[in-house]
Amino acid sequence: MSGEPPIDALKAVAHPVRYRILQALSGGELNVGQIEEATEIAQPGLSQQLAVLRGAGLVQSRKQAKLVFYSLDAEAIQVVVSALADLSGATVRGTQATPRRALPGAANFARLS
Q: What is the CATH number of the domain that holds 28?
A: 1.10.10.10
pLDDT at position 38, please? 96
pLDDT tens, position by position, 51-76: 999 999 999 999 999 999 999 999 99
Question: In this structure, is residue 81 part of a structural domain?
Answer: no
pLDDT at position 102, please? 56
Question: In this structure, is residue 100 part of a structural domain?
Answer: no
Contact criterion met (CB below 8 Å) for 93 and 78: no
pLDDT at position 41, please? 95
> 27: number of CA atoms within 13 Å, CB side?
10
Alpha carbon distance 61, 73 (integer Å)? 10
pLDDT at position 88, please? 81
Question: In this structure, is residue 43 part of a structural domain?
Answer: yes
Alpha carbon distance 21, 70 (integer Å)? 10
Question: In this structure, is residue 101 part of a structural domain?
Answer: no
pLDDT at position 104, please? 60
Question: In this structure, is residue 80 part of a structural domain?
Answer: no
Ranges of residues in the chain whose predicted pLDDT is under 70? 1-2, 90-113
DSSP 58: S
Alpha carbon distance 38, 35 (integer Å)? 5
Question: In this structure, is residue 27 part of a structural domain?
Answer: yes
Q: Which domain holds residue 61?
A: 7-75
Question: In this structure, is residue 71 part of a structural domain?
Answer: yes
Question: In this structure, is residue 69 part of a structural domain?
Answer: yes
Overall number of domains in the chain: 1
What is the pTM (predicted TM-score) of this model?
A: 0.74
